[in-house]
Amino acid sequence: MHPIIRLVNRNITISVNPGFLIWQVIFPLIYIFVAGFAYTALIDNVPFGNKDLTYPAFLASGMIGFNIMNSTLVSGIIIWNDRRHGMFEQIMSGPFTRVHYILSNIATIAIIGLVSAGLIAAVGYPVFFESVEFSPVTIPLIIFSSITGAILFGSIASIISTRLRSSEGFNVIINTVFLFFAFVSTAFYPASGAPQPLATIFYLNPLTYLVDIIRAGIFGTITEFVILEMVILAVLASILFIIATRLLTKLDF
């Protein structure tokens, strides 16, 4: 078996556990079916492109991107635990290199990101099916955003895990950063209804681009701005991936 495949299998085995599955499934379900329908008393319809979406449909599609981001915490946690428990030295004593280690982490988060996106899309489909407009680019858009988003946020988690040594600092920083990404984005509410300074911050957040691209694919609202968001997301993912890779290759475990 190829070394990268062996490491990917190891990463998925140690990462996918009952706690992780509950976090990846139950938490989005609560948001979609509890918060989504509870807030319809306050939020009637949400404008998106040339459509008016119900709030549950808007939220369910946003949770796909949110879950992709959430799943990439796996990358940082794997690196952190390997540093903390001396696993990296043991891995390097086998037929593995740092390149194998880095590529296996990227492959792991890409797989988990795709599975996570598919899972939430299937769960949320009954909520947004009335507004769906599938086209030949729908699936490619979702695959593009899932992989690109997973690499981007996985790289951020990896960068954080390489720069911090205390477990308290790691947990505080990574949870604070990802909490900011989650709630200062268009995953839960549209930028159009927010005060201008907050709306501007929304578009400094890569999660906004991720959920906008996913919604564009699901609801058939692909515009020039969405294409620009795809370019920005791909460029950011590439830059952060290069930074994370360089830090990992120079890291003294």
Rounded CA-CA distance 119/103 in Å is 24
Rounded CA-CA distance 225/235 in Å is 15
φ, ψ for residue 86, nearest 5 deg = 75, 20
Q: What is the pTM of this model?
A: 0.85
CB 74 within 8 A of CB 109: yes
Alpha helices in the chain (DSSP H): 3-15, 18-30, 36-38, 55-71, 73-85, 87-92, 98-128, 138-163, 167-183, 196-202, 206-219, 224-250
Residue 54 host element (H or E): strand 51-54
Question: Buried (b) or exposed (e) across 44-63, using 16+ Cβ within 10 A?
Answer: eebebbebebbbbbbbbbbb
Q: What is the pLDDT along the chain (253 residues), one digit of tens a residue?
A: 688 888 888 888 877 777 776 777 777 778 788 877 888 777 878 888 778 888 888 888 888 888 888 888 777 778 877 877 778 778 877 777 878 888 888 888 888 878 877 877 787 777 777 777 878 888 888 889 988 998 899 889 888 888 877 777 777 888 888 888 988 898 888 887 778 888 888 999 999 999 999 999 888 888 899 999 999 999 999 999 999 888 887 766 5
CB 4 within 8 A of CB 104: yes
Contact residues for 133 (Cβ-Cβ < 8 A; gap 6+): 218, 219, 220, 221
Please provide the DSSP assignment of 118-133 as one string: HHHHHHHHHHHGGG--
